Amino acid sequence: MAESEENSALFPIFILTLLALPLIPYTVLRLYHATTKKTKSIHCRCSVCARSGKYRKSIFKRISNFSTCSNLTLVLLWVIMAILVYYIKHISREVQTFEPFSILGLEPGASDSEIKKSYRRLSIQYHPDKNPDPEAHNYFVEFISKAYQALTDPVSRENYEKYGHPDGRQGLQVGIALPKFLLNIDGASGGLLLLGIVGVGILLPLIVAVVYLSRSSKYTGNYVMHNTLQTYVYFMKPSLAPSKVMDVFIKASEYMEIPVRRSDDEPLQKLFLAVRSELNLDLKNIKSEQAKFWKQHPVLVKTELLIHAQLARESAPLPPALDSDFKRLLELAPRLLEELVKIAVMPRSPNGRGWLRPAIGVVELSQSIVQAVPLSARKVTGGSAEGIAPFLQLPHFSEATVKKIARKRVRTLQELLEMAGEERAELLTQTGGLSATEAQDVELVLETMPCVEVEITCETEGEEGIQEGDIVTMYAWVTIKRRNGLTVALPHAPFFPFSKEENFWLLLADPVANEVWMSQKLNFSDEAAALAAASTAVREAKEALGASPKEVSAAVGESIEKVKNGSRLVVGKFQAPNEGNYSLCSYCLCDAWIGCDRKTNLKLKVLKRSRAGTRGGGGGATEEAAAAAEEGGEEEEDEEEYDDDYESEYSDDDQEEDKDDKKDDKNKKAAADKDSSNSEEGSGTDEE
């Protein structure tokens, strides 16, 4: 009986231990992530964003943000743990060991007369004839009488003094920490109950783990399905025009899982009529084109129409079920587009470089989805290579407003930004037809728009000049400046139902050959990580050049100051190509704003590797080689807005894609001829 009570008392401690082992480390990890959050972003303050309700901090929204499944589960587990601690400390009766001397109030080794005297004294106090209390009766029978008997019997007393127990040496006791009611159940019911506990405690976690692993094996680290990546790789082409990126984007496996209901037919038909002009249908054969469009897979039709509903801002009349699918599409869009960019710039054989044109098209599609601007608005007009799309992202702007201000020779967003504040307000109110409040909203958005500056240097560590085959290190300082003085801010995107951070893609590319030499994603939110990365990169570069500790410390301090002022250091490596002069361009593309991209020209001269394999200044190098090496190390940088080399091509047809294919084939053929002419030994038996 005592053994059963002891095991039962250990059951809460056993449960508390199992609960605390995973709960405490997980809570510490969650708190660590909460305290090391990224810099808080400031959202747009215009009236359009305020009416969207996306950033409204109501009490209900705060509760819903906290009341996630993981947070509520964590709180519930801590409540259970607190209850267990309280039960163990205050309710659970401590199991006492049998100590005769302590029960009789004597010191160990007391004489027989002292034992009898103490027994008589306690009998007067607890004997049933003297004390009618039932608890006194139980205490007298269970403890006092047994203690007196154990000490008056010579054998029991000797066993107690020698082994600590009146019955002599005790063996090892093994118990199970289960509640008392489980141990008292006999027969088949007890076995079934015990089997149920084993199933819940062992089999259920195993089943959950198997289901989780089977589901997680379908996704990558960025929560994108592996089937989606395979589909994107299959359909990605080097000549993929921006107008054709949509056809690849909607083939994601995540979108194929969205249900197609019969009740969606009528709303999708109405939506088709609203966005028909954006579907790139051949107007000469409009009937056959429409029939061809509806013959596609129903999920592809639904996905494309819903994406165009976002671009055309036609999502208001959608029914609840279709609106839920619409928001699901937009929620998945940023991560899918990010993976699509990575696939476009993924190094490919034979030269190990990615493709520039599809990468630009994917980023432009991301900009249009976030800002809810039609792809047709990127059609090249008068003096703007990006059409009227940059203007349509501003609040209260329409095509009519753009046409009105164009009469005053303001045809690009840059021209609007370069105007003085009073002059711009006068243009918007008097010429554009906006009210003073609407003009103030436009001013707030213009103050939030980022202005990007890029400084790039390419060098070979520890050497002068760049020779073919060298590993070239590119150092790029990307700086963001805003008129409101902020470094991090959420973009103005009232028609995108989710919070979207600004991400930038830095691409070092050869636009003529349609090749991306180096690419990297850039985010300005995490300043601590940027400080650590910049300090490490600058320190390693200076130490490789043999700089003194003082010079290294000064360079690191300068880099830290740059990061705090809104700059980020991007370091990349690529292998130098064959000898020649290369006109490269760096593209800093924003995935959330239209018209905020930056293109920087970079001229790179690659020298022929010396015959002895040494670098300029070595024993066999001549003065002419050294001079050529110094000339090769010079680089020219020109920063400019996007020109004719980077025009949006959403209005291009398939004929331009054929031209680009022929151009790429021509470039590849010229490169092959050049490589064959530079080879020292020819082989007449090689076959292509």
Least confident of 51-65, 303-317, 365-379, 418-432: 51-65
**Given pLDDT bands bounded at 50, 70 and 90, which one contains residue 173?**
low
Choose the most confident range, by mean pLDDT, from 72-81, 231-240, 644-653. Answer: 231-240
Task: Quote the CA–CA distance of 447 and 484 in Å, as a whole number.
Answer: 5
Mean pLDDT of 331-343: 95
pLDDT at 513: 92
Higher pLDDT, 568 or 68: 568
Mean pLDDT on 414-429: 91
Mean pLDDT of 19-31: 86
Alpha-carbon gap, residue 378 to 623, rounded angstroms: 53
Strand spans (E) along 482-546:
504-510, 515-522
Average pLDDT over residues 433-450: 93
Tell me what the mean pLDDT of segment 560-570 comes to.
93
Which of 37 and 324 is assigned the larger pLDDT? 324
Contact 488, 42 (CB under 8 A): yes
pLDDT band (50, 70, 90) for residue 308: very high
Structure tokens at 415: 């021209």
Q: Exposure of 602 by Cβ count < 10 A (0-12 exposed, 13-18 middle, 19+ buried)?
A: buried
Report the pLDDT value the prediction gives residue 653, as an integer from 0 to 100. 44
What is the SS3 string spanning 654-681? HHHHHHHHHHHHHHHHHHHHHHHHHCCC
Region 586-602: what's the mean pLDDT?
Answer: 94
Percent of the chain surpassing pLDDT 70: 77
Query: Which span out of 157-166, 346-355, 475-484, 655-664 was modeled with the highest average pLDDT?
Result: 475-484
Confidence of residue 582 (pLDDT cuts 50, 70, 90): very high
Among 86, 546, 498, smallest CA distance to 332 is for: 498
pLDDT at 627 over 50: no
Q: How confident is the model at residue 645 (pLDDT cuts 50, 70, 90)?
A: very low
- pLDDT one-digit tens code per residue, 214-226: 777 788 878 899 9
| Average pLDDT value for the chain | 79
Q: What is residue 393's predicted lDDT score, i.e. its pLDDT?
A: 94
Residue, of 241 and 480, whose pLDDT is higher: 480
Over residues 115-172, the pLDDT tens digits come to 888 888 888 888 877 788 888 888 888 788 878 877 787 777 777 777 766 666 665 5
**pLDDT confidence of residue 331:** 93
Output 318-327 pairs: Cβ under 8 A, ≥24 positions apart.
Answer: 318/267, 318/271, 319/263, 319/267, 321/261, 321/263, 321/264, 322/264, 322/267, 322/268, 325/258, 325/259, 327/497
Q: Residue 525, exposed/middle/buried by CB under 10 A (0-12, 13-18, 19+)? A: middle
Q: What average pLDDT does the segment 493-500 reach? A: 91
pLDDT of amino acid 253: 93
The pLDDT-based confidence of 552 (bands split at 50, 70, 90) is: very high
* pLDDT at 674 > cutoff 80: no
C-alpha closest to that of 649 among 549, 451, 547, 511: 511
Greater confidence, 295 or 140? 295
pLDDT of residue 165: 66
pLDDT value, residue 36: 57
Contact 241, 652 (CB under 8 A): yes
Least confident range from 113-117, 216-220, 304-308, 339-343: namely 216-220
Top-confidence range, 63-77, 257-271, 280-294: 257-271
Percentage of residues of the chain with pLDDT beyond 90: 40
Query: Which two structure tokens, joined as six digits, stand for 429?
Result: 């109110």
> Which pLDDT score, from 0 to 100, does residue 272 have?
92
Judged against a pLDDT cut of 80, whether residue 259 lies above it is answered with yes
Higher-scoring residue by pLDDT: 371, 286: 371
| Distance (Å, whole) CA 515 – CA 658 | 18
Phi, psi dihedrals of residue 73, rounded to the nearest 5°: -65, -40
Phi, psi (deg, nearest 5) at residue 22: -85, -25
Residue 254 has pLDDT above 70, yes or no: yes
Q: Which tokens go with 478? A: 């990307």
Local confidence band at 239 (pLDDT 50, 70, 90 cut-offs): confident
Phi/psi at 468 (nearest 5 deg)?
Answer: -60, 135
Q: How far apart are CA 179 and CA 4, in angstroms?
A: 9
